[in-house]
Amino acid sequence: MQYNIIIFDGVSRVFADKVILNNFSLEVRRGEYLFIIGPSGCGKTVFLRLIAGLDHPNSGSIYIDGKDMKHIVAYERNTPMVFQNYALFPHMSVAENVQYALKVRNVDKRAREKKTREILKLVGLAEMASKRPMQLSGGQKQRVALARALMTEPKILLLDEPLGALDENLHSRMILELKALHKRLGITFIQVTHSQSDALAVGDRMAVMNLGRIEQLGNPMEIFMRPRTSFVASFMRNCNILEGEVYSLESRRVTLTNPLGMFQVEVERIPVGLIKGKKVFLTVRYDQVRLDLKGTFENRVVAITRGQEIAGSIMSYIFELTNGEEFRYELPLGFDLKLSVDQKVLLGWKSTDCHLCTDIEASHG
């Protein structure tokens, strides 16, 4: 059995002279839960549609289970897609919606009704079989859409922003239910989303896309902790970013300079191609910043307090640097720094608590 269930080999897709995917290559592992994240227009949904056969590449090849998909139409691929708007038939009951895919395949009525009962039980909707979509909550509609997609026993399930229409609490519950379902079925899940938090919560791997290519691919937490490019760091929205130039290179330390001062970053090894004068980006997570009351940290910036925000159990303090850029410091809710608006402070962090983005080469492995 092949290790990779899907292979994109140099795939490009162009619409009206606009490049959506650009020489795109990716291998999807059998049985993994892969998240594709990125801004609107980066090519995420087009990637899913190419897998499903709802769209076709201008160049390159797509392989599913070792077979070239060039001449394989959508209904022969068995790669169902679950959409954000559910796409349920309002005039049909839950059971009728779920068994529709088998009905159009002329599966025997008794067999499809038996399968429907099994799938509805799997997604926790056994008691809802006779109801219409308008009688269901958002989460229940999402389960119906999932059940319908699973009726053909696919090896791959495609999820296009499936939780985007749900409120925050229901969203949080449903992503965990999706992970439990993935574990139980053992098939490949590929989910497109704007939300990195979903990938961090349940994903096996995550690909961050930008302008039709992959900026970084790997373990979600590794990407969260160690973004490889300034775009990934910015998209993850969890760190401050300072742009500068390489001032000096040592065995495991890079010093960069910018108008705010000199900054040091500990690295595992000096990136290939990094030279003195090269433009780089230093990132430091919001929760790694500290008030530098004694001026002892290796890296320091002068900042003016501008306010604070609360998100869940996190307090985020907002500062303005002397160059006008925003800088943040996060703490668990309940820790009060007793800072007043317009108060000048010194913020610092260790060289081991920051990360270097060189933008020399995005990761595709």
Distances (CA, A) of 125 to 141, 174, 334: 10, 14, 41
The length of the chain is 365
Q: What is the pLDDT of residue 360?
A: 60
Domain that holds residue 9: 4-225
Taking the C-alpha atoms of residue 191 and residue 161, their distance in angstroms, rounded to an integer, is 7
Q: What is the CATH number of the domain that holds 314?
A: 2.40.50.100
In a domain, 76, yes or no: yes
- Which one of 160, 195, 225 terminates a domain? 225
Distances (CA, A) of 138 to 123, 176, 190, 355: 14, 16, 21, 40
| Residue 237 dihedral angles phi and psi, to the nearest 5° | 55, 40
The two three-digit tokens of residue 69, written as one number: 């998909």
In a domain, 231, yes or no: no
Q: What is the pLDDT of residue 11?
A: 97
Are 318 and 221 contained in the same domain? no
Taking the C-alpha atoms of residue 302 and residue 47, their distance in angstroms, rounded to an integer, is 44
pLDDT tens for the 365 residues of the chain, in order: 578 999 999 999 999 889 999 999 999 999 999 999 999 999 999 999 999 999 999 999 999 999 999 999 998 999 999 988 878 999 999 999 999 989 888 899 999 999 999 999 999 999 999 999 999 988 899 899 999 999 999 999 999 988 877 788 888 888 999 999 999 999 999 999 988 889 999 999 999 999 999 999 999 999 999 999 999 999 998 999 999 999 999 989 999 999 999 999 999 988 888 999 999 999 999 999 999 988 889 999 999 999 999 988 899 999 999 999 999 999 998 888 889 999 999 999 999 999 999 876 543 43
Contact assessment for residue 46 and residue 20, using Cβ atoms and an 8 Å cutoff: yes
Q: What is the pLDDT of residue 1?
A: 59
Residue with tokens 């590929």: 190
Q: Which residues contact 325 (CB under 8 A, 6 or more apart)?
A: none
| pTM for this prediction | 0.90
- Which one of 202, 225, 248 terminates a domain? 225
